[in-house]
Amino acid sequence: MASRRGVLVGGLAAGALVVGYALRPRRYALPLPPGRDEVAFDAWIKLADDGVVTVAVPQVEMGQGVTTLIPQIIAYEMGADWRRVAVEPAPPSPLYANVPLASRWAELTMPAMPDALLGDDAALVRRWAQDHTFTVTADGTALAAYEGPARAAAAMARALLCMAAAERWDVDWRECDAKDGFVVHKGKRLPFGSLARAAAALDPPRSPPLRDAPPAERPGVPMAYPRLDLPAKVDGSLVFAGDVRLPGMVYASIRHGPIGESALADYDKTAANGVRGLITLVRNRGWIAAVASTWWAADQALTRIDAGFTSTDRADSATIDQAMETAMQTGTATRLAERGDPDAFLTGRLPLQLRYEVQPALHASIETASATARFKDGHLELWIGTQAPQAAREIAARALGIDVAAVTLYPMPLGGSFDRRLENDHAGEVALIARACQRPVQLTWSRKQEHIVGHPRPPVAAVLGANVDATGRLGGLRARIVAPATAREFGRRLLHADSPRAAIDAVAGVADPMMIEGAMPPYAIDHLAIDHVPVRLPLPTGRMRGNAHGYTAFFVESFLDELAHRAGREPLAYRMAMLGHDPRLADCLQRVAVLSGWGGGADNSGQGIACHLIGSAESGGRIALVASARRDADGVTVDRLSAVADIGRIVNLDIARQQIEGGLIFGLGLALGCSTGYEGGLPVTGRLASLNLPVLADCPAIDVNFITSSAAPADPGALGVAAVAPAVANALFSATGLRLRQLPLLSEDV
């Protein structure tokens, strides 16, 4: 039972070995205490005397709409007036533990635990997430993690408000309801605000009833919950990390050493003396920062001092390419997924084997890393946008040698992240700079520094082979995927505070199941084998929106298209023949054919098709996409993208559409650009303008339709990212007759 002044958290026993640990009760402080005119019903909801409902949101807003989605769930269940709903970012707290993500990342979070002790409802993983204040925003888990707790909290608040009103009316509270910010009963109504304090003084019922159905929106129904953050983003009043202003605040710029084992060697300190506004220089082993009255002055000072670094094991494209090739030819593979009897049916050299490659890809987030810190009397205040707030606190505390409890973090929204802000390098840097200059300081990385320390999506190579019969039927498929153990590497940095090099060395030679996600096709293929060949690269790599699905869908759907054309089969029909077990994905394909005016992908039509499943067959999200593309004087132009998605029950249709559309554009950037080479430990590309990102004039017409479904909600954020590259590649084959098997597509000779 939840109380108003704290929450007693107890796990469920997962077995005799963990029952004592799992059931040990704990109390946690209320993360967001109420103001003078408010009462708190639990960790999720505060209600003011004027009727404003403030909802705590423990996930960072980075464009995905989570600061609308969670309040919408609470407003629906509570019966609140959407016009009187406010949002407050929740600080890190065990009460908001993201248990589904901790379970999904079990290979990283709890690698020593047997599968029997893991799972969304396992007590052990729940306790781990609570003990580690694991409120990470990633993998579209907001609904899975928080819809249930948010609905329960709102139902409790609604019940208490109904009980307070029922006392005044002398009726049974179960006969009351809440609607549009009022408690109602047979023509009578009382506003929430007038009942807030009386309701807060009552004891809640043991099991407050939920509404009959969970929140859901259907296509064609007028929008009821417009985004809460949209007005502030449109008029520029929303405060991001780079907008924070404190009394006496100064500004810092920074230079990092080349990618490798780098150390600051020398610099000409006197060369910065003429920079007006310069306050001080702050040096560390792998970086040097300048602090000044303006960021521009600080950056100019760093340019003048011309810092030099010594480094070994520098990132270099030639070295990376050679390591990838050696691993492909002679590396040891680990079988991570299989079906049927692949060893009997997929041995030796298969009749058809094709190679696909993707180059390192930069996140290209709109907002570069920025954080503001104030250090005083052994306590650090940190204003930062991060997907992993507790990790940011720990990094800052470790840098200063103080207890993590002495770090107060103020969560800020992000101007895009694409998983880049799962890393918190700048939290430790700004903490050290604030202590050194003894003033509030704001650190902002330049775009070039963002690219140097950016941990790109890794390079990946794959050889796919198939056995097909005379009719072109696919009987077996084998994939050999060469990639660094990026997910494990990231996990070492996030959860164990490893340096980038230490993380690389810790996972060298270890297979990584998260690097082949999406490689098991959704099709009915009798024999399948997916092997991972881990490779050590002199390049720290990280997670990116779409993650493995961003390249495995490209491999599989491009390969399927080639098989269809080699067999003389129409690409849509070829796929449909293998989807009898998945009518939801088959429905997406059929509907997108109608939506796009699919002509069969005949020669020179410029149409290409692809589909993909993210998640399990029971609860995953599905998408089918048709791209229309052509070759012109500027390279490649994509004229139209038509998508049909099945993401189960849709909580907010407008946000779901935005996520699909945004994913398609982001994926288009990955398909045509976003890549860089490396020389001497530095990225060759230092500016956004050099990444061949789609600008507004390049964006194709986009049509997105959704299939009405009562299945469990699935996240739409990565579906478009995964599907667009193979659809465009297949369209370009239709338009030009050339197969492009490398991302970005323009890296090959069109």
In the predicted model, what is the mean pLDDT of residues 662-676? 96
Prior bond of 440 cis (ω within 30°)? no
Q: What is the bridge-based pairing of β-strands 742-743 and 352-358?
A: parallel
Residue 167 and residue 172: Cα distance in Å, rounded?
8
Q: Which stretches does DSSP call E strand in 556-634? A: 607-614, 621-632
Q: What residues contact 545, with CB distance under 8 A and at least 6 apart? A: 363, 418, 419, 663, 666, 717, 718, 721
Q: Are residues 357 and 379 in the same domain?
A: no
Residue 351 and residue 465: Cα distance in Å, rounded?
8
Query: Residue 324: inside a domain, yes or no?
Result: no
Query: Residue 451: inside a domain, yes or no?
Result: no
Which amino acid belongs to residue 145? A
Question: Which pLDDT does position 219 carry in this prediction?
Answer: 87
Q: How confident is the model at residue 119 (pLDDT cuts 50, 70, 90)?
A: low
Range of the domain at 352: 331-361+457-747
Q: Are residues 374 and 486 in the same domain?
A: no
Q: How confident is the model at residue 603 (pLDDT cuts 50, 70, 90)?
A: confident
Question: Tokens for 54?
Answer: 């403030």
Question: Which pLDDT does position 632 carry in this prediction?
Answer: 84
Question: Tokens for 340?
Answer: 């049927």
Residue 442 — φ and ψ, nearest 5°?
Answer: -115, 120
pLDDT exceeds 80 at position 578: yes
Residue 522 and residue 230: Cα distance in Å, rounded?
37
pLDDT digit string, tens, across residues 325-344: 999 999 999 999 999 999 99
SS (H, E, C) 129-170: HHHCCCCCCCCCCHHHHHHHHHHHHHHHHHHHHHHHHHHHHC
Q: Are residues 225 and 248 in the same domain?
A: no
Residue 78 and residue 679: Cα distance in Å, rounded?
57
- Show which of 444, 470, 493 is a domain's final residue: 444
Q: Are residues 406 and 338 in the same domain?
A: no
pLDDT exceeds 80 at position 122: no
Query: Residue 413: inside a domain, yes or no?
Result: yes
pLDDT digit string, tens, across residues 274-291: 999 999 999 999 999 999
On whether the CB atoms of residues 216 and 651 are closer than 8 A, the answer is yes
Query: Residue 236: inside a domain, yes or no?
Result: no
Question: Which pLDDT does position 15 carry in this prediction?
Answer: 28
Q: Are residues 520 and 650 in the same domain?
A: yes
Q: Are residues 355 and 384 in the same domain?
A: no
Q: How many domains does the chain have?
A: 3
Query: Residue 741: inside a domain, yes or no?
Result: yes
Residue 386 — φ and ψ, nearest 5°?
Answer: -150, 145
Other Cβ atoms less than 10 A from the Cβ of 693: the count is 18
Q: How confident is the model at residue 346 (pLDDT cuts 50, 70, 90)?
A: confident
pLDDT digit string, tens, across residues 449-488: 999 999 999 999 999 999 988 778 899 999 999 999 999 9
pLDDT exceeds 50 at position 5: no
Q: Are residues 668 and 697 in the same domain?
A: yes
What percent of the chain stands above pLDDT 90? 85
Q: Are residues 636 and 695 in the same domain?
A: yes
Question: Which pLDDT does position 21 carry in this prediction?
Answer: 35
Q: Which range (495-504, 601-610, 611-620, 641-650) has the least confidence?
A: 601-610
Residues paired with 441 in a beta bridge: 250, 373
Query: Residue 449: inside a domain, yes or no?
Result: no
Q: How confident is the model at residue 167 (pLDDT cuts 50, 70, 90)?
A: very high
Query: Residue 325: inside a domain, yes or no?
Result: no
Q: Are residues 390 and 471 in the same domain?
A: no
- Show which of 411, 444, 477 is a domain's final residue: 444
pLDDT exceeds 80 at position 222: yes
Residue 96 — φ and ψ, nearest 5°?
Answer: -110, 25
Q: How confident is the model at residue 26 (pLDDT cuts 50, 70, 90)?
A: low
Q: How confident is the model at residue 177 (pLDDT cuts 50, 70, 90)?
A: very high
Q: How confident is the model at residue 616 (pLDDT cuts 50, 70, 90)?
A: very high
Q: Which of 455, 378, 452, 392 is nearest to 241 (CA)?
A: 392
Q: What is the mean pLDDT of the chain?
A: 93
Q: Which of 718, 704, 486, 535 is nearest to 613 (CA)?
A: 718
Q: Are residues 622 and 495 in the same domain?
A: yes
- Show which of 201, 231, 261 is a domain's final residue: 231
On whether the CB atoms of residues 614 and 663 are closer than 8 A, the answer is no
Other Cβ atoms less than 10 A from the Cβ of 410: the count is 15
Q: Are residues 296 and 408 in the same domain?
A: yes
Query: Residue 433: inside a domain, yes or no?
Result: yes
Q: Are residues 58 and 133 in the same domain?
A: yes
3-state secondary structure of 10: coil
Report the CATH number at residue 527: 3.30.365.10
Question: Which pLDDT does position 461 carry in this prediction?
Answer: 98
